[in-house]
Structure 1
Amino acid sequence: MTIRVLIVDDQQLVRAGLHMLCATDTELEVVGQAASGAEAVRLAERTAPDVVLMDLRMPGMDGIRATERILATRPAIRVVALTTFDDDDHLYPALAAGACGFLVKDASPTDLLDGIRRAAGGESPFSQAVLQRLVASAVTARRVDRSADSAAPQGLTRREAEVLTLVSAGLSNAEIAERLHLGVTTVKTHIGNLMTKTGATNRVRLAVLGAGQR
């Protein structure tokens, strides 16, 4: 199955590099490139991508507002925010806007391609360092909503508690499966159960909850 990708970045060199990278993977098809948030909204409507690689800092309509606009009309699209080391102030707004994950721009080609595939598959790809910063910031400043931050993990099985700990450490589903000698589908089931039991609405809030319980 081909994964349709829309690339959004105001720097032409970055767009070209991402396009060339995607072209190395036969599972990916770049269906458009946008240099602004407004253009991204128009192209997303016209091309119906599966995954949008979204720069957060752009003049005019930024990536956060563009994410909101895109998901308002096409909620099935998976938006992955592209971030830099000093972009932390944009992460929570992007998450609130509906971004499903964050990847750093200087990630390895393998990690970027894997992140696109994981997003298309319904996962939330996060560069581990970014997720750890989000978790640390949220636990310290309590910047997430109380329903997720204060939810006590009542009634968790031993295995669910183990999965929660590994989610808070930033591990992907595949990494958790390998660590616990489980199938990836089983890990996904555990994470779904954890979200139901804790009230966490996404993987970041689940990770924050797990970090707060350690």
Structure 2
Amino acid sequence: MIIACLHTADSNCAVFEAAARKLGLASDVLHHTVRPDLLEAAERAGGLTDEIARSTAAALGALAARADAVLLTCSTLGPSTAIVGQTPVPVLRIDAALAEGATAVGGKVVVLCAVETTVAPTTAVFSEAAKRRAVALEVRLVAGAWSSFKAGDRDGYLAAIAGACDVAYADGASIVALAQASMAGAADFVHRGPPPLTSPEAGLRAALERIAQRVSTVE
């Protein structure tokens, strides 16, 4: 079994490997491709453009030719999965799986984003899931967090996110969801509520479910 991951930050390879180990996956299941240029282009443009979406979709389509499932791990680029077209295997955006899991909890869902270009696509995918389940939703940007990440200050980055999680729980959140894969490590430092939901684990679970469905259909 091969799950191909398209990342925009090299550090997310380790994040997904940790999530895979937690789920009991073998060490050779995940295959990583890192394209920082795609996110950098989106940041320069102020968000996802048609051209960047097409480039992302082409990269996803190429990965689908040699995998059992493909995960797009960058929430800024998430809408690109809609234009990939026909592929032999499922191509999934991890934030869609996260949205399903978070809204299933019910109550008030607070979604945290670290980078501004993620806010619009994250709001769109979570709003769709929240509407289906009639739950309250709030999307928040963690001010200053992305600057810490880009400066290589991982501890400061995760501390800012964990602090924002605690604030969200103090404000009455039933569950907090961390919109970006790079935020996952902050879950270990949250004290005022349940561990926030993270996109790497949600995405991998969704991929495994889709792979199992395909196998059962073939059988």
TM-score for the superposition, normalised by structure 1: 0.37
